[in-house]
Structure 1
Amino acid sequence: MRQPPLPPVGRRQLLLAGGAVGLAAASASLLTGQAHASPTRTRGATITDLGPAIEQFALMSAVLVGDTVYIGSRNLSPTRLIAFHLPTRKVVSRTDLGTGHSVQALAADPTGRYLYAGVLTKADEGRPNLFRWDLRSPDEAAVGIGRTEDRDVRELAVAPDGTVYAVGGVPGKAPALWRYDPGTGKVTGLGVPDPKATLARAVAATDTTVFFGAGSVLGGGGGASRASLYAYDRAAGTFTDITPPELKKDPSIRELAVFGDRLVVSTSASTGRAQLAVMDLADLTSFSVTPTDGTVAKNLTSDGDLVHFAGDAGLSSYSMATRTITPLAYDGPDLGEIWGLDHTDGALVVVSGYGFVGEIDTASGASVITELGPAGAPVSPQTAMGIAAEGRYVYVGGNNVVARHDLRRPGKAANLRAPGEAKDAEVLDGVLYTGQYNAQGIWAYDPADDEQPHQVARFPSEQNRPLDLCYDAVNELMLVGVQSDTEGGGSLWTYAPKTGEKSAFVDPVDETQLVRAVATRDGVAYLGGDNPTTKGPRGTLVAFDPVAGREHWRVDLPLSTGVAALAVRGRHLYGLTRSGGFFVVDLTIRRVIHTADLHDICPGFAAMVTSGGVVYGVSDTTLFRFHPKTFAVSTVVPGINGAWYSGPHVNADSRGRLYTLRGHHLVRIEDRPEV
């Protein structure tokens, strides 16, 4: 029976009268760690290994050199490059890099001898993030040639004289332009043209000029800049802002390419449409701007007057003469996320995040699709994201894939295709629901009726990063906590599986805090706020009516890091912060009644689930549980060390069995707590 919601409280009121002292004391212990918990290992849990969570050759970059497509891996260990030979449609060589988790940037020198690769890392490993592979000797391993101080390399360009330029970013620091000189072997920082940018992912180079494109595609909002384009004079060593005014409304420059005497610029959009700009290299003040039909335009490649590119709806062609955009029809399957696009001999070579290479005849639309695994690409376990479970199936989200594990056939998993990333998931009445990044909304899959997952709800495109999903049985709603990468803040999505009705409540916490965690009790949604920037509030809890879109009350915790996870048991709301703080809120009195410092077992991101009357948590290192009466923490599986991308997950099926990762493997845990 649904209980009536508590009466509204002022938006910034911390607690009911008489509770402020208790919250202040509890919050202080979260910050200082005075209430330290000493985890103890418990016995009695049965762990069943269900095999690799996800296996595929996941990819994130590609470039055509001669008759061979070189492809960079994504979220695989080790990072690697493969060479796919178009005439034979076989993988003919590979090399392992071993640094970081993904290869996003590839570029070849003008001679076609050297392939340069840039790696994305999760942390500053102090190892090379720039590599070079000698394509004349593909059996020899690629070598590390240096490191940019920006943690991630997002794009590379090679000038006609062989000089390499790199751009990328690191959280909390404006991106710089970097140069690798093959003659001296040195990597040099050339400066930061836009001090308010959060990420650069576009660069192009000529004999005289390097073009640098940046913006706020990650960590947007607040004082972060929008799309910015700079010309770097190679001789003078100076930057000049050349951003067309029409592009400045977009969050970021997405891609740059030099075709003949023109520079082609594309943007990533947020609330509007992505744009293409064509600039005269001889006079950069002379340009044209054309809006596209979607929110992204990338992977620019030319065929004379035509510029082909990938967007939301697949492939399109832009005529520089008429300034018109035409969708490219073809007879093949959905291409999903496209990470490589090149033109050769009247055909487009498309490298899909689904793990295949497509060759599309631009005149007839005929296509040939080659799956990379059967063609010789190394298929191996990938880091994973959301997990959902029910009686027969367990689902694990990854890049462009959701792995379906059949519990009747342990070790056998089928890869379902869904574009982007399944950040979190739940199963309701046998149907899987996922929150799909980037800006893909909610997808569903019914194993009884569907061959593949399909989209069931779209939301505002700027509300692009779903983070946490749960089901509100009272209101019969899927609830999704969301981050807006470009605008800052976030939202709460709601979706009714029975009716298809949906809503998006933007910035329910505030304009700065995203909704990192969501839990529900008696028809009230509890939202956990977080803030990826260094400024502004974080750690706010909001009790929210997901039907009316109205706040009931809130608690502002003075945390240095925001909320990582929430779970409800009875009248208690459990919470973990991103630095290992643990707190319990009594929802009847709206007060923090317990805190502890769990950073020893929970050093960062975390997830929680309530199963069998007990709240469980998982971090990157440990599976643990909380005593329902004392809130004491006990270790269930130490050293679980799940191979996660974008934070750990744990979920439970209807029988209370837990599912998470141990290393790259999916495991089922049957716990017997003594409570």
Structure 2
Amino acid sequence: MQHPPSLGRRQLLVAGGALGLAAAAGPLLTSPARATSKAPSCVRITDLGPGIQQFALMSALQVGDTVYIGSRNLEPTRVLAFHLPTRKVVAQTVLGTGHSIQALAVDSTGRYLYAGILTKGDEGKPNLFRWDLTAPDKPAVGVGRTEDRDIRDLAVAPDGTVYAVGGIPGKAPALWMYDPGTGKVTELGIPDPKATLARAVAATDTTVFFGAGSVLSGGDGASKASLYAFDRASGTFGDVTPPEMEKDPSLRDLLVSGDRLVVSTSGSTEPAKLAVMDLADLSSYSVTTTTGKVVKNLTANGDSIYFATDTGLHSYSTETEVISPVGFDGDLGEIWGLDVAGGTLAVVSGYGFVGEIDLATGRAVVTDLGEAGAPVVAQTTMGIAADHRYAYVGGNNGIARHDLRTGKVVNLRAPGEAKDAEVLGGVLYTGQYSSQGMWTYDPAKGGQPHQLAAFPSEQNRPLDVCYDPVSELLLVGVQSDTEGGGSLWTYAPKTGEKAAYINPVDGTQLVRAVATRDGVAYLGGDNPTPQGPRGTLVAFDPVAGKELWRIDLPATLTTGVAAMAVRGRHLYGLTRKGGFFVVDLTVRRVIHTADHRAVCPGFASMVTSRGVVYGVSDTTLFRFDHKTFAISTVVAEINGAWYSGPHVNADNRGRLYTMRGRHLVRVEDRPVN
């Protein structure tokens, strides 16, 4: 799908640092920067239009002949109604809070659709909404809020009572109940105090099933997959986890189908599992190991259970206990909706389409949601990379390619999320979340991005990608969401050789940042858990796979490393709360620290361009003086619309690329020495 910006929206601005980005087109002007260090500069800013535009989605549920689809990382959040007979979007409702909708459920009458929100804030606002499907022209209404900020799954019992699960960082997840009769939201208890997230819930007349684990913030004693049965009459929980599933990090999905409970997991070091349990006797069950690392979107038709994995669509026969693939001619990408009715399997893809597969013939019809009437709008973004010809912006299940000559934008397909990226010799290389390894795209060859190298699947979250010209290796810092700790990946573009060094910092610190000098990789450690060391720097030989030396950041820098860059003999770094440090690599010690929370209150990204070290936070683009290490504002109130932390990168001419709001901007900074 292509969305070329009009020439009128391509704006050139020249302004001084703290003067910000006044949105105006007109003659080129220059002015001195009003920066914290008073260092003057000329800043030229080019607005390249929306970073990535698409109808991104995160949930789907079929009710009758209509599929309801929840948006992802779009503003405002909304639910669409896609009518299968006409293959058109026939209604939508705007919820307005949060950033994504992962949970949808409908009551037994088919009248009320409930939606649960992922919020990242919005304190005090509802995260549970209800839409009356008999009056789709009327908006959904907020009916309550769970204290677990993010709702990951919903279930409606036969009597209309709604149950919600999810999580909030630093707190074990609870089971929540919404009573439509009283309008109250009630916490029913925390069955697993060591869990970090609950992602599955199902309900019958008598029992609510609660599935949790540690798919996020794993390690450090966090529990693995757990399944609890909540007795609605007594208000008590009982652990009913099949022992065969206890090694997997998390329960992923639950489905009540007749007299059976279908249970699935997310895998990590082992493949995911699928279990079918007898509701009358939960100790009677069968467990099957799948070929994928996740089993989700469970739906049943007779004795067949259909589900999605990272390897495609499958069916499971409860009679033969055999898993079989469901054929589809094409790439379904990340699947967020799966329902079966009338012999047709409706598949909602993260690529922004609905596929209808005739189970008898195997024939399929695919409808692009944008063409069907879904709003195609700017999304919050992830990794950024550029060279002289193209700039790339990562989104969900897509990467936008901006042609810097013509302004034309093309959306490329790539499953998951391009968390960070680099361009070498015109070829794009990405670190792809989750458990997708490294992907690549060569615009000279056309086609779509494809996987370049796989790495251990539990090393699932690549965070920082850089290139070492001495060893000619791509280096990727990685977090393991499920096991804790992290790794360093290396890949040689010329030879295809790869390696993964697990826990090069220690067993709890992930590798959030990587920088290089003279063939040495510098790894910045971070620990997202409350206990244990954080902020360790490791000098690492990426060819030999050996540690050379390490130092710990001063205790005054209370959080782990967020970003790093090298200039000359100095390693610059920022912590996750704006702490700044400089290491003299020749003497291997910290020689300068400062508190920059005023401009960098959280995560950050850094890059060295034209001999200057730059950084970007959620609010500000800034630079550092290489003599005094003083910070100077380049663009104030840039306020990039990021999903997983800010990014800044430079092309081979030294021009910077980052986000201003939801627009990609190119920044040419000329400090005056």
TM-score by length of 1: 0.94
322-331 or 44-53, which moves further after superposition? 322-331
Structure-2 change in CA distance of 1:484 and 1:569 (3 Å): same
| Structure-1 residue corresponding to 2:19 | none
Residue 281 of structure 1 aligns with an amino acid whose one-letter code is L
Instruction: Report the alpha carbon displacement of residue 125 of structure 1 after superposing the two structures with TM.
Output: 2.1
Instruction: Report the alpha carbon displacement of residue 222 of structure 1 after superposing the two structures with TM.
Output: 1.5
| Structure-1 residue corresponding to 2:179 | 181
Find the partner of 1:272 among 263, 270, 273: 270
Alignment RMSD: 1.0
Distance in 2, Cα, partners of 1:421 & 1:482: 14
Distance in 1, Cα, partners of 2:361 & 2:430: 36
Please give the per-residue CA displacement for 1:297-346, whole angstroms capped at 9, x wherever unaligned. Answer: 10000110000000021100001111110011123x20000000000111
> Quick check: 2:657–2:665 contact (8 Å CA) kept in 1?
yes
Find the partner of 1:322 among 310, 320, 323: 320
Please give the per-residue CA displacement for 1:46-97, whole angstroms capped at 9, x wherever unaligned. Answer: 1110000000000000000010000000000001111000000000011111
| Structure-2 residue corresponding to 1:116 | 114
**Which secondary structure state, in structure 1, belongs to the residue aligned with residue 244 of structure 2?**
helix
Distance in 1, Cα, partners of 2:599 & 2:448: 38
Find the partner of 1:147 among 133, 145, 148: 145
Distance in 1, Cα, partners of 2:191 & 2:363: 44
Instruction: Report the alpha carbon displacement of residue 450 of structure 1 after superposing the two structures with TM.
Output: 2.8
| Structure-1 residue corresponding to 2:601 | 603
| Structure-1 residue corresponding to 2:24 | none
1:444 equivalenced with 2:440 (yes/no): yes
Distance in 2, Cα, partners of 1:125 & 1:664: 23
Find the partner of 1:533 among 529, 536, 543: 529
Instruction: Report the alpha carbon displacement of residue 362 of structure 1 after superposing the two structures with TM.
Output: 1.4
Distance in 1, Cα, partners of 2:183 & 2:307: 34
Distance in 1, Cα, partners of 2:406 & 2:663: 15
Residue 174 of structure 1 aligns with an amino acid whose one-letter code is A
1:376 equivalenced with 2:377 (yes/no): no
Please give the per-residue CA displacement for 1:169-216, whole angstroms capped at 9, x wherever unaligned. Answer: 001100000000000000000000000000000000000000000000
Distance in 1, Cα, partners of 2:282 & 2:389: 60
**Which secondary structure state, in structure 2, belongs to the residue aligned with residue 246 of structure 1?**
helix
Instruction: Report the alpha carbon displacement of residue 545 of structure 1 after superposing the two structures with TM.
Output: 0.7
1:623 equivalenced with 2:621 (yes/no): yes
Distance in 2, Cα, partners of 1:329 & 1:56: 27
**Which secondary structure state, in structure 2, belongs to the residue aligned with residue 374 of structure 1?**
helix
| Structure-2 residue corresponding to 1:301 | 299
Find the partner of 2:403 among 403, 406, 423: 406
| Structure-1 residue corresponding to 2:383 | 386
Instruction: Report the alpha carbon displacement of residue 121 of structure 1 after superposing the two structures with TM.
Output: 1.3
Instruction: Report the alpha carbon displacement of residue 40 of structure 1 after superposing the two structures with TM.
Output: 5.1
| Structure-2 residue corresponding to 1:4 | none
611-620 or 556-565, which moves further after superposition? 556-565
**Which secondary structure state, in structure 2, belongs to the residue aligned with residue 450 of structure 1?**
coil
Distance in 2, Cα, partners of 1:299 & 1:450: 33
| Structure-2 residue corresponding to 1:471 | 467
Please give the per-residue CA displacement for 1:402-459, whole angstroms capped at 9, x wherever unaligned. Answer: 000001112x210000000000000000000000000000000000003100001000
Where in structure 2 are the equivalents of 1:234-633 lying within 5 Å?
A: 234-331=232-329, 333-410=330-407, 412-557=408-553, 558=555, 559-633=557-631
Distance in 2, Cα, partners of 1:124 & 1:537: 32
**Which secondary structure state, in structure 1, belongs to the residue aligned with residue 397 of structure 2?**
coil
Find the partner of 2:650 among 649, 652, 657: 652
Residue 300 of structure 2 aligns with an amino acid whose one-letter code is S
Structure 2 stretches lacking a partner, 5+ long: 1-34
Identity %: 77
Instruction: Report the alpha carbon displacement of residue 560 of structure 1 after superposing the two structures with TM.
Output: 2.3
Distance in 2, Cα, partners of 1:522 & 1:140: 63
Please give the per-residue CA displacement for 1:193-246, whole angstroms capped at 9, x wherever unaligned. Answer: 000000000000000000000000000011100000000000100000000111
Find the partner of 2:668 among 658, 667, 670: 670
Residue 394 of structure 2 aligns with an amino acid whose one-letter code is G
Residue 582 of structure 1 aligns with an amino acid whose one-letter code is F
Instruction: Report the alpha carbon displacement of residue 43 of structure 1 after superposing the two structures with TM.
Output: 4.7
Residue 623 of structure 2 aligns with an amino acid whose one-letter code is R
Residue 348 of structure 1 aligns with an amino acid whose one-letter code is L
> Quick check: 1:121–1:152 contact (8 Å CA) kept in 2?
yes
Residue 540 of structure 1 aligns with an amino acid whose one-letter code is T
> Quick check: 2:97–2:122 contact (8 Å CA) kept in 1?
no
> Quick check: 1:330–1:364 contact (8 Å CA) kept in 2?
no
> Quick check: 2:45–2:667 contact (8 Å CA) kept in 1?
yes
1:82 equivalenced with 2:80 (yes/no): yes
Residue 668 of structure 2 aligns with an amino acid whose one-letter code is E
| Structure-2 residue corresponding to 1:637 | 635
> Quick check: 1:42–1:634 contact (8 Å CA) kept in 2?
no
Residue 376 of structure 2 aligns with an amino acid whose one-letter code is V
Bigger RCO (CA 8 Å, 6+ sep): 1
Instruction: Report the alpha carbon displacement of residue 556 of structure 1 after superposing the two structures with TM.
Output: 1.2
**Which secondary structure state, in structure 2, belongs to the residue aligned with residue 478 of structure 1?**
strand
Distance in 1, Cα, partners of 2:198 & 2:223: 11
Distance in 2, Cα, partners of 1:111 & 1:344: 17
Distance in 2, Cα, partners of 1:501 & 1:123: 43
> Quick check: 1:41–1:638 contact (8 Å CA) kept in 2?
no
Residue 511 of structure 1 aligns with an amino acid whose one-letter code is G
Where in structure 2 are the equivalents of 1:191-206 lying within 5 Å?
A: 191-206=189-204
Please give the per-residue CA displacement for 1:246-281, whole angstroms capped at 9, x wherever unaligned. Answer: 111110000000000000000000001100111100
**Which secondary structure state, in structure 1, belongs to the residue aligned with residue 246 of structure 2?**
helix
Distance in 1, Cα, partners of 2:210 & 2:636: 46
Residue 110 of structure 1 aligns with an amino acid whose one-letter code is S
Distance in 1, Cα, partners of 2:342 & 2:404: 48
Residue 382 of structure 2 aligns with an amino acid whose one-letter code is M
Instruction: Report the alpha carbon displacement of residue 506 of structure 1 after superposing the two structures with TM.
Output: 0.2
Structure 1 stretches lacking a partner, 5+ long: 1-36
> Quick check: 1:99–1:129 contact (8 Å CA) kept in 2?
yes
| Structure-2 residue corresponding to 1:233 | 231
> Quick check: 1:384–1:643 contact (8 Å CA) kept in 2?
yes
Please give the per-residue CA displacement for 1:602-654, whole angstroms capped at 9, x wherever unaligned. Answer: 00000000000000000000000001111111000000000001100001111
Distance in 2, Cα, partners of 1:516 & 1:499: 26
> Quick check: 1:91–1:376 contact (8 Å CA) kept in 2?
yes
Distance in 2, Cα, partners of 1:201 & 1:42: 51
> Quick check: 1:40–1:635 contact (8 Å CA) kept in 2?
no
Distance in 1, Cα, partners of 2:270 & 2:518: 38
> Quick check: 1:539–1:561 contact (8 Å CA) kept in 2?
yes
> Quick check: 1:75–1:382 contact (8 Å CA) kept in 2?
yes
Instruction: Report the alpha carbon displacement of residue 363 of structure 1 after superposing the two structures with TM.
Output: 2.0
Residue 439 of structure 2 aligns with an amino acid whose one-letter code is W
Instruction: Report the alpha carbon displacement of residue 123 of structure 1 after superposing the two structures with TM.
Output: 2.3
Distance in 2, Cα, partners of 1:39 & 1:281: 68
Residue 384 of structure 2 aligns with an amino acid whose one-letter code is I
Distance in 1, Cα, partners of 2:529 & 2:217: 7
Tell me the matched-pair count.
Answer: 637
**Which secondary structure state, in structure 1, belongs to the residue aligned with residue 170 of structure 2?**
coil
| Structure-2 residue corresponding to 1:15 | none
Q: Following superposition, which runs of at least 4 residues in structure 1 exceed 2 angstroms of deviation? A: 37-43
